[in-house]
Chains A and B, each alone.
Chain A
Amino acid sequence: GAVVSQHPSRVICKSGTSVKIECRSLDFQATTMFWYRQFPKQSLMLMATSNEGSKATYEQGVEKDKFLINHASLTLSTLTVTSAHPEDSSFYICSARPLMEVYNEQFFGPGTRLTVL
């Protein structure tokens, strides 16, 4: 149980285009999903917390107009990287916390490798 999927697994795009990444909890409902970014050989950096039906909460230094987050249902959150630039190239990972989860475990998706040319 507690499977989280991400789509696409990798994407290559041209500079200036927008890319949408989907995060789905497949077998549970999640009011809260999280978006992380990981640079090579570094830790997971939380970008934003996504709550179903409300605006996302962004971490300091993360541009909300550049990284648009929509949490339209209890099983789906999307991250759109707008006007992507080469410095946005990274590994983006989402996670979800089950609705009835008492503790703080998050279950992670497999990640999306974004390459901006």
Chain B
Amino acid sequence: DQQVKQNSPSLSVQEGRISILNCDYTNSMFDYFLWYKKYPAEGPTFLISISSIKDKNEDGRFTVFLNKSAKHLSLHIVPSQPGDSAVYFCAASVSSGSARQLTFGSGTQLTVLP
């Protein structure tokens, strides 16, 4: 049972346009959400996070939106750059959990075309 789902395995966007990556979750106990970027044969790099007390968090070109009622979050990248091409994973966590483990989605391969 996948608790965190990224239904789009891939996304192609033209340079300069907006990239929107989506993520859905089923566990209502999740209260902290993160996005990671990963290149092949490397570990994931933390991008941005959001607590469930917020519905939006912005950091430069990256904005994460959280819709708790829909159990949905999205990552917006604008403007998209060729260097943004990578696999993007969303992850979710329960803050009150002792280990605060992350549950990852399956990832979305973003390709930004020059």
For the complex, give the distance between the alpha carbons of A27 and B42 in Å: 19
A34-B43 in contact given A104-B32, A105-B49 (Cβ < 8 Å): no
Of residues A95, A103, A113, which shows the largest number of chain B Cβ atoms within 10 Å of its Cβ?
A: A103
Q: Is the CB of A109 within 8 A of B106?
A: no
Chain A binding surface, main DSSP class:
strand
Q: Is the CB of A43 within 8 A of B42?
A: no
For the complex, give the distance between the alpha carbons of A46 and B43 in Å: 14
0 or 1 for each of A98-117: is its CB under 8 Å from B? (1 = yes): 00000111111111010000
CB distance from A29 to the nearest CB of B (A): 16
Q: Among residues 58 to 100 in chain B, which have CB atoms less than 8 Å away from a CB atom of chain A?
A: 89, 93, 95, 99-100
CB distance from B84 to the nearest CB of A (A): 18
Q: Is the CB of B104 within 8 A of A44?
A: yes
- The residue on A at minimum CB distance from B107 is A43
- Indicate whether B45 reaches chain A with its CB closer than 8 angstroms: yes
- Indicate whether A78 reaches chain B with its CB closer than 8 angstroms: no
Count chain A residues whose beta carbon lies closer than 8 angstroms to a beta carbon of B.
25
Residues of chain A with a CB closer than 8 A to B41's CB: 91, 111, 113
How many cross-chain pairs have Cβ atoms below 8 Å apart between A and B?
57
A104-B44 in contact given A46-B101, A49-B99 (Cβ < 8 Å): no
Residues of chain A with a CB closer than 8 A to B89's CB: 43-44
For the complex, give the distance between the alpha carbons of A106 and B44 in Å: 10
CB distance from B68 to the nearest CB of A (A): 17
Q: Is the CB of B99 within 8 A of A108?
A: no
For the complex, give the distance between the alpha carbons of A107 and B89 in Å: 14
- Indicate whether A93 reaches chain B with its CB closer than 8 angstroms: yes
Binding site for B on A (CB under 8 A): 4, 6, 32, 34, 42-44, 46, 49, 51, 57, 91, 93, 95, 97, 103-111, 113
Closest A-B pairs by Cβ, 7 of them:
A108-B43, A104-B93, A43-B106, A104-B100, A49-B99, A43-B104, A44-B104
Q: List 30 A-B contacts (CB under 8 A).
A: A6-B43, A34-B102, A42-B106, A43-B104, A43-B105, A44-B44, A44-B104, A46-B101, A46-B103, A49-B99, A57-B99, A91-B41, A93-B43, A95-B43, A103-B51, A103-B95, A104-B32, A104-B34, A104-B49, A104-B93, A104-B95, A104-B100, A106-B46, A108-B43, A108-B45, A109-B43, A110-B42, A110-B43, A111-B43, A113-B41
